[in-house]
Chains A and B, each alone.
Chain A
Amino acid sequence: MVVVVPSTKAKNAVVGQRKSRTGYFLLLPGMTWLAIFFAIPFVTLFLTSLQAPVAGQSGQYIPAFQISNYPDALTEYWPQFLRSFVYAGIATALALCIAYPLAYFIAFKAGRWRALMLVLVIAPSFASFLLRTYAWKTILADEGFITSFFNYLNVLPDDRILNTGIAVIAGLTYNFLPFMILPLYAALEKIDPRLLEASNDLYASAFTTFRTVTWPLSLPGVVAGTLLTFIPATGDYINSELLGSTQDRMIGNVIQTNFIEFRDYPTASALSFVLMAAILVLVFTYIRRAGTEDLV
């Protein structure tokens, strides 16, 4: 069954739109900035990823076309790559499960508390990202309440949470949760509550209503939230550095250490480029489903 929700958005976009040179003038400075400092750096990143080392001088590279940098970097660091996608994937799935009930509640049940609850969703980001992540060291500490509880249940493989992959995933889930909640809320809020009532009137159970009405209509939010959580989580290295052990390093850690500490610019650039390419594939799959107008 296809539900057609009348959209007023497309109409508003045309009303009051003028065609004049002012439009280009308004776009020019900002878009130039983005072109120079966002788009062009990808070109330099690509060129850097092909550079060859200068013999005998560490940290010095010359322009070259050393495509072998890519297979070299990937054979050395594929475990961290794989781990990044697995950790980010699990964290995204967990975030979706945690975020959905809250987003649903804010959209349909919160009433006059709605604005306040939205503020509370954003508020945690006013406290330092690094310190919040660091705080999980205290919460998940070996002698702490949570670790003791799970040890009592005897479910932890290493009898601890801190300095394991579990802590890294927990940190990622927590840190990117608002990026899941907000798009979910935006999609749920657009649903006409009368559709849910209609489904209820037609004797659908609460579960059937959710499965056939609410969930399909919230899919744009699910897709957007999943992207906005998965992408930063894949590239993140703060959680793995602060909460994990050296066995839990992700691709972000590798890029950072290679770039800043080892000064192995070609390897780090090649890895960044592969990571970006993987993410662009995801984004374009999304665009093909949703179009660009809803992106921004």
Chain B
Amino acid sequence: MNWIRRHLLGFVAVLVLVYLFIPIAVVAVLSFNKPEGKYNTSWRQFSLDGWTNICGVPGVCDSFLISIRIGIISTLFATVLGTMIAFALVRYRFRGRSSTNLLIFLPMTTPEVVMGASLLALFLNLRFPLGEITIIIAHIMFIISFVVVTVKARLQGMDPRLEEAARDLYAGPSAAFRYVTLPLVAPGIAGAALLGFSLSFDDFIISFFNAGTVVTFPIYIWGAAQRGIPVQVNALATLVFVIALLIVLISQFVSGRRRKALENEISSSPASIDSLLPRS
């Protein structure tokens, strides 16, 4: 009885984690299905069709590549713009800080349908043609905030004295940035880019409003949901999930080991950075 009480919380926690993965297991299992009729919702027979002939259904791979292209371009722009904002927020004093914070926060709390609709209203009023460009504009807009939050957290966790130490050792501002700040913030920027890409790649609502005739991967799935989603879509989605999970797990593992190595190095060297700096 006591054992149960002590482990109840852990049991519930694991249960919630399992719950989070149930639909993904369904998606993965159904990628090996040979559906009866057009709707791939119940198990019938094992088949590798979805995997061996992954581009077999017209439109699936095209839309997949369009989504990847849009994701890469949007992430690139949003990461640069968002990182710059994060640096300004953490390292600089400026006027209008609270309205800046608000303008960064609001896109994260505005329902996608409102953002999609208002942007479409803008494009319609300007008679701007809808297409890949408008999707990319929209994606950059809503990814920036997430980049700011991620990079800002990393910057705040960084000791500003490290940069000061570099400056004291006669590094110019650009050298200090290049050799001290950037390497320390890089994991945060990489994490932000990964998050940005996954947000862009998976976005449906905002893209749907501003896509015109362009069919991204989520828009393809939306259309297919009415007439039956081909198994190939399940296979591709499972593939993306596994690859993304591996990237994150490996980077976690590597950064954990690197941190440990760094800690060992600092504690074993007699002149650690902390012992050089005045105690605050």
How many residues of chain A get a CB closer than 8 Å to chain B's CBs? 96
Enumerate chain B residues within 8 angstroms of A9, measured Cβ to Cβ. 156
Would B111 and A232 count as touching, CB distance under 8 A? yes
CB of B139, distance to nearest CB on chain A (Å) = 10
**Looking at A27, A133, A141, which has the most chain B CB atoms within 10 Å of its CB?**
A27
Q: Is the CB of B9 within 8 A of A104?
A: yes
B141 touches A33 (CB 8 A): yes
Q: Which of A68-76, A121-129, A152-160 contacts B (4 or more CB under 8 A)?
A: A121-129
Give A40 to B128 CA distance when docked, in angstroms. Answer: 15
Q: Please give, as numbers and ranges, the residues of chain A lying within 8 Å of B156 by CB-CB distance.
A: 9, 12-13
B112 pairs with A296, CB closer than 8 A: no
Given contact pairs A37-B141, A139-B26, A126 touches B241 in the complex (Cβ within 8 A): yes
Q: Is B103 an interface residue (CB 8 A)?
A: yes
How many A-B residue pairs lie within 8 Å, measured between CB atoms?
294
Contact indicator per residue, chain A 153-195, by CB within 8 Å of chain B (1) or not (0) = 0000000000000000000001001100000000000000000
A226 CA to B258 CA, complexed, in Å = 36
- In the complex, which residue of chain A has the Cβ closest to the Cβ of B81? A30
A15 interface neighbour in B13, B138, B160, Cβ under 8 Å: B160
Question: With A17-B93, A137-B41 in contact, do A235 and B111 touch (Cβ < 8 Å)?
Answer: yes
Task: Output the least CB separation between A292 and chain B (Å).
Answer: 4
- Give the residue name and chain of the A residue nearest to B204 (CB): A130
Q: Does B221 contact A (CB under 8 A)?
A: yes
Residues of chain A from 30 to 50 with CB closer than 8 A to chain B in the complex? 30-31, 33-35, 37-42, 44-45, 47-48
Instruction: Tell me if B70 is interfacial: C-beta within 8 Å of chain A.
Output: no
Enumerate chain A residues within 8 angstroms of B92, measured Cβ to Cβ.
17-20, 22-23, 26
Interface size class of B (residues with CB under 8 A): 35 or more
- 65-123 of chain B: CB within 8 A of chain A: 81-82, 84-85, 87-94, 97-98, 100-115, 117-122
The complex places the Cα of A55 from the Cα of B130 at a distance, in Å, of 26
Indicate if A218 sits at the interface (CB-CB under 8 A). Answer: no
Point out the residues of chain A lying under 8 angstroms from B81, CB to CB. 29-30, 33
Interface string of A226-267 (1 = CB under 8 A from B): 011001101111100010000000011001100110000100
- Residue in chain B with minimal CB distance to A251: B113
The A-contacting residues of B in range 112-150, CB under 8 angstroms, are: 112-115, 117-122, 124-125, 137-138, 140-142, 144-145, 148-149
Known: A120-B20, A129-B202, A138-B30. A237 touches B113 (CB 8 A): yes
**Among listed B248-256, B262-270, B271-279, interface-contacting one:** B248-256
- A214 interfacial contact with B, CB 8 Å: no
In the complex, A94→B271 CA distance in Å?
53
Query: Which of A35, A135, A141 lies in contact with B27, CB distance below 8 A?
Result: A135
Beta-carbon contact of B125 and A48 below 8 Å: yes
Q: Are A252 and B16 in contact (CB under 8 A)?
A: no
A48 in contact with B149 given A23-B92, A135-B26, A296-B89 (CB within 8 Å) = no
Report the separation of the CA atoms of residues A125 and B105 in the bound assembly, to the nearest whole angstrom.
Answer: 21
In the assembled complex, A131 has its CB within 8 A of some CB on chain B: yes
6 shortest A-B CB distances, which residue pairs?
A235-B111, A23-B92, A16-B160, A30-B81, A105-B13, A41-B118
Q: List 5 A-B contacts (CB under 8 A).
A: A23-B88, A48-B124, A119-B249, A132-B24, A296-B152
A residues whose Cβ falls under 8 Å from a Cβ of B: 9, 12-13, 15-20, 22-24, 26-27, 29-31, 33-35, 37-42, 44-45, 47-48, 98-99, 101-102, 104-106, 109-110, 115-117, 119-139, 141, 174, 177-178, 227-228, 231-232, 234-238, 242, 251-252, 255-256, 259-260, 265, 268-269, 272, 275-276, 279, 283, 287, 292-293, 295-296
